[in-house]
Amino acid sequence: MSMNQEIARRFADAAAILEITGANAFRVNAVTKVARLLEEMPEDIGAIADDPKALARIDGIGKSSAEKISEYAETGTIEDFDVLRASIPAGLIDVLALPGLGPKTVGLLWKKGDVTDVETLEAKIDAGELTAIPRMGKKTLDNIKDAIEFSRRSAGRIRLGDAMPLAERLVESISAAEGVTRIAYAGSLRRGRETIGDIDILAAADAPESATEALTSLPDVEKILLSGATKTSVRLEQGVQVDLRIVPESIFGAALMYFTGSKEHNVMLRERAIQRGMRLNEYGLFEDDGEKEPPQNRGMRPVAAETEQAIYEALELKPTPPELREEIQAETDHVAEDLITLESVKAELHAHTKASDGTMTLEELIQQARSRGFHTLAVTDHSKSSVQANGLSVERLLEHIDAIHDANARHDDINVLAGSEVDILADGSLDYPDDVLAKLDWVIASPHSSLRQDPDKATRRLLRAIEHPLVHAIGHPTGRLINEREGLSPDMARLLEAALEHDTALELNANPWRLDLRDRHVRMAQEAGVMVTVDTDAHGPSDFDLLRYGVMTARRGGLGSALCPNCWTEGKLLSWIRSKR
């Protein structure tokens, strides 16, 4: 967050608290105005923050606000606002955060109903104690109760793999509406974050009503939160909010860029525009003529607006892939030229059959891999200690290896490798003896148990597996499950160092529950020159479709195909694999 936004947030919070306490409207308005001013101001307030006189010369900032801004720049806090915050029960801030509850209502609930936090609010609604308060009819109270339940259910962000199919279904329904000419999902979903706060959809439409109607009439819609000409918000029964924005087609690119974010990326682009004498907002990139009034309100024609690409070019930037729009820096020089794509993946190196806990026969698995155009497939069923996953005893494994080699001989258009996903036991030893591992073409070693180990032990455990000469890759190295299980927290820098030395890859497991390695670990690997395999860990045929989540995460980490064995040619891949035998 820039200094402008940080301070704007402080002023906006203060305005809300003032309103809760029932301060007079002039005072509330004055503070709100400063917040808005700071939010929209193109110049960096930090540059003059130590000079209250210069601050007070800005239109709309009075003497006392100027002092507060200086105080924040100097100390990181604003004492008056801290005092203000302490004047209301701390729990009221959570009440204010409930969807649909504004400061006026919160003030009323507190003063007339003795509500001090979400818990007392809920208890009092249940006990029927709030009905006597003005404007608190049964319907309003039911809505509040509803909001409490929703915020509880959706406190966690939803997984990328749950949000994406949902968003694609919505996009398809809305695109069928009359007059819709362009449509896309934006926000964190387009950037491929592992979890999604809400789903943002952007449409260009001649007749906004039919697009809006296409969303609000869907059976999944549990509640319409807001319905306007250009913005509609609904809550789905899947526990996620959807924001639909409708814009003219001529500015679709500018709006898509803005609503894709991230906020930090937007700030960086806006600053770059300012440096070039231009102004950038969700309506387009405009020449800056020094007028205060936003250019789009004065009928100015944008320099660029229709496509994202045109805007990046006008800012003298290479277009930044959405997955890389997280960082403050958008200078794309550091984006790998060979950033991986879904199409560049030519091998699946982690897949299960009925021999352990998969649902496919060996032949079905091979057909899936062939249908995706892969040149190589490694069959990697579980090892003996994974009892719950029907892991293979040494005897069963040896039979399985023969069966896989036979199958490979039957198919001359794909290399089918006899592999194993062998457990890394708690002490770092592997679940099969070396002479058995040596019979396998390909070995992934994965942690499946003892996932609450302390970081030191976890590091030593994984190091042992990385250093093992017969191991090609470490499967889902931390064992985390998104929103469910933290997993191991090894010293990633040390693992990468060892992986580089021993020519071992770390896996990015594409299953959207895992996405392990995480995006930031992939970035560390790319920077360290360590190989990262991207595999689906398929247990059934449709799991091959999960590859996209792995690829998005890999791109967020800047992974280039030179370090991703799944993207290599058959010759290069097999020669690395054989080098470990």
Q: Which residues in this chain contact ligand DGT in the complex, by CB under 6 A? A: 187-188, 193, 196-198, 200, 258-259, 261-263, 266-267
Which lies closer to Ca ion via its Cβ, residue 72 or residue 258? 258
Among residues 161, 192, 186, 185, the alpha carbon closest in space to that of 558 is found at 192
Rounded least distance, CB 325 to ligand DGT, Å? 8
Cα separations (Å) of 464 from 53, 287, 461, 504, 516? Answer: 63, 59, 5, 12, 19
Residues in CB range of 427: below 8 A, 6 or more apart: 461, 464
Written as six digits, the tokens of 514 are 């895992």
Using the rule CB under 5 A, is 241 a contact of Zn ion?
no
Which lies closer to ligand DGT via its Cβ, residue 109 or residue 315? 315
Pick one of 67, 117, 129, 198: the residue that binds Ca ion (CB under 5 A).
Answer: 198
Written as six digits, the tokens of 220 are 């999944």
Among residues 270, 291, 268, the alpha carbon closest in space to that of 282 is found at 270
Rounded least distance, CB 464 to Zn ion, Å? 18
End-to-end CA distance of the chain: 51
267 binds, among ligand DGT, Zn ion, Ca ion, none (CB under 5 to 8 A by kind): ligand DGT
Under rule CB under 5 A, which residues in 104-123 are in contact with Ca ion? none
Q: Which residues are registered as beta bridge partners of 369?
A: none
Using the rule CB under 5 A, is 243 a contact of Ca ion?
yes
Local structure of residue 157 (DSSP, 8 states): P
Rounded least distance, CB 172 to Zn ion, Å? 33
Using the rule CB under 5 A, is 232 a contact of Zn ion?
no
Which lies closer to Ca ion via its Cβ, residue 188 or residue 415? 188
259 binds, among ligand DGT, Zn ion, Ca ion, none (CB under 5 to 8 A by kind): ligand DGT
Rounded least distance, CB 405 to ligand DGT, Å? 47
What is the pattern of x (binds Ca ion, CB under 5 A) and - over residues 173-192? --------------xx----
CB 512 within 8 A of CB 549: yes
* Amino acid present at 91: G
Residue 204, classed as helix, strand or coil, is: strand
Rounded least distance, CB 447 to Zn ion, Å? 9
253 binds, among Ca ion, ligand DGT, Zn ion, none (CB under 5 to 8 A by kind): none
With CB atoms as reference, the residue minimizing the distance to ligand DGT is 261
Total site size for Ca ion, rule CB under 5 A: 5
- Whole-number Å distance between alpha carbons of 490 and 513: 19
Pick one of 194, 200, 421, 423: the residue that binds Ca ion (CB under 5 A).
Answer: 200
Using the rule CB under 5 A, is 353 a contact of Zn ion?
no
- Whole-number Å distance between alpha carbons of 198 and 162: 12
The continuous run of DSSP H or E covering 270 comes out as helix 263-275
* Amino acid present at 14: A
Residues in CB range of 61: below 8 A, 6 or more apart: 34, 37, 55, 69
Which lies closer to ligand DGT via its Cβ, residue 67 or residue 264? 264
Which lies closer to Ca ion via its Cβ, residue 187 or residue 560? 187
CB 561 within 8 A of CB 568: yes
Rounded least distance, CB 497 to Ca ion, Å? 37
446 binds, among Zn ion, Ca ion, ligand DGT, none (CB under 5 to 8 A by kind): Zn ion
Using the rule CB under 5 A, is 162 a contact of Ca ion?
no
* Amino acid present at 295: P
Pick one of 368, 446, 511, 566: the residue that binds Zn ion (CB under 5 A).
Answer: 446
Rounded least distance, CB 481 to ligand DGT, Å? 19
CB 467 within 8 A of CB 424: no
Q: Write out the residues near Ca ion by the rule CB under 5 A.
A: 187-188, 198, 200, 243
